[in-house]
Amino acid sequence: MHPITRRILNTYQEISRRKTFGIISHPDAGKTTLTEKLLLYGGAIHTAGAVKSNKITKTATSDFMEIEKQRGISVATSVMGFNYRGYQINILDTPGHKDFAEDTYRTLTAVDSVIMVIDSAKGVEEQTRRLMEVCRMRHTPVLVFINKLDRDGLDPFILLEEIEKELHIHTRPMTWPVGMGREFKGVYDLTQAGMRIFAPEKTAISEKMQWVEGLNDVALPGIIGEEAARKLREEADLIEGVYEAFDESLYREGYLAPVFFGSAINNFGIRELLDTFVRIAPPPAARQTRQRTVQPGEESFSGFVFKIHANIDPNHRNRIAFCRVVSGRFVRNKFYTHTRLGKQIRFSGPTSFMAGEQSLVEEAYPGDVVGLYDTGQFKIGDSLTEGEQLSFEGIPSFSPELFKQVINDNPMKSKQLEKGLRQLTDEGVAQLFIEQPGNNKIIGTVGELQFDVIRFRLLHEYAASCSLIPLNYYKACWVTASDKNTLEKFLTGRGQHIAWDKENRPVFLAESEWMLNVTRQAFPGILFHFTSELRPESALEN
């Protein structure tokens, strides 16, 4: 076989065995705990940790930032990979808190499917709805895990009805709970006719499975009790009559969500979820660029940066760009084209991840996420290719709604503060604006918690302390115009409300919605942008 043919066939084989997905949920639904248990089943870890609680002191593997360990929440996307039954599984565990939704939105551009975690007692919550809108916009396949069945919660049929009504997606139960809370006896596998008996196991794998020959097996009442068996049969008949049969093509198109029940904290119901996921989840998909559609099976490498993380190792002050491989094969020490800068770059130390731990990568394939050591040359949305000019689409920025001016508490640490502000805002969790004259620095975010995280990280990672003074702004808008004179007239006329972002693009800071509308009417030649893709562009329209 010709070497090129062999390499192409090998690439296709590697693509077909990759499953890259994100785990999303409302805060406290159990997303990070589920991530930990999937790693346990994949053999990536041997003892499961948990998010911070009074009973368990070991912090979760995916929460590696110090502030996450202290607060027991996820505030940054973690990337983890492991092998399971011949598949390469790449998990992107995202922040659940709404203040960090922008990080999650961008992460969803790098996955091919998602697992959505829902609290059985709370049902569909606000952040769940927002995340589902992003998934629906991209037709991302969604698999649902209804968590915390070991606690009293809503009736399973009510939960399914709520999911369909609130999230606008059809559902199909794949497993079904027997009881709930103190009466929780386990889950019945509707596709394999297997009954898994509930056996709480927080840190290891439980394999307590009792198979039955269907719901009419005479052994079933002896396993779960006569009344529970009768109710299970009735509910299973209702499921078959009400819900459409599972259709893999509808799932992959984002119209049908398979649903599983379990208890992540007790490591229960995970096996069925994972086994079904590797069987039905799609392999790496094509990605759209401004120039054309890029197929994963193409011979030439291409990829895009969807996240940047400063100080992933605080001891070395390094900065990592997370690059999703879209096509071809990424090879260590090979030169690639940074399309925005138009320069050739090679990477001698690309890494794969297990949360905070990293290992050297010799090669990577479509679906993989590679960590590239960055000296400040990357921005979110940047593309890498083997020479072709490609710009990947769909990586959103955001218009901040909360603003605070940065006051340096220690003038002796001005350089550290400057560096910290620029590196942390490069990660995309906040925007940095500069007012002139005076070089006043303003941080804009979509949530209050982001300010706490920035202050914490500035102090602990850069030894820079600062005060953040609230500013009364309604919205920040990037402004563009079709000609230079129109733009200059606007910038002069509204100079007291103009700041500049890190790419030296003008930004209009509106004090109210009324003020924004009045300004729009006064300057009809100016375009005001609330959202845009994260790419540096001129304020003059092409």
Cα 444 to Cα 434: distance, rounded to the nearest angstrom: 11
In DSSP notation, 136-169 reads HHHT--EEEEEE-TTS----HHHHHHHHHHHH--
Q: Which of 55-59, 87-91, 118-122 has the lowest mean pLDDT?
A: 55-59
Q: Classify domain 22-280 by CATH architecture.
A: 3-Layer(aba) Sandwich (3.40)
Using the predicted structure, report yes or no on whether residue 201 has a pLDDT greater than 50: yes
Give me the mean pLDDT over the 481-503 stretch.
90
pLDDT digits (tens, 9 = 90+) for 400-420: 888 999 999 999 999 999 988
Tokens of 216: 């009419």
Using the predicted structure, report yes or no on whether residue 161 has a pLDDT greater than 90: yes
What pLDDT does 323 receive?
94
Domains 22-280 and 402-529 equal at CATH topology level: no
Q: Answer for the pair 507, 443: CB distance below 8 angstroms, yes or no.
A: no
What pLDDT does 533 receive?
52
Instruction: Please give the model's pTM, rounded to 2 decimal places.
Output: 0.77
Cα 320 to Cα 378: distance, rounded to the nearest angstrom: 9
Q: Answer for the pair 128, 25: CB distance below 8 angstroms, yes or no.
A: yes
| Cβ neighbour number for residue 279 with a 10 Å cutoff | 11
Could you tell me the CATH superfamily of domain 287-385? P-loop containing nucleotide triphosphate hydrolases (3.40.50.300)
CATH class of the domain whose range is 402-529: alpha beta
Classified as helix, coil or strand, 369 is: strand
Give me the mean pLDDT over the 504-530 stretch.
92
Domain parsing of the chain, residue ranges: 22-280, 287-385, 402-529
Q: Which of 331-340, 374-383, 509-518 has the lowest mean pLDDT?
A: 374-383
What pLDDT does 75 receive?
37
Cα 464 to Cα 458: distance, rounded to the nearest angstrom: 5
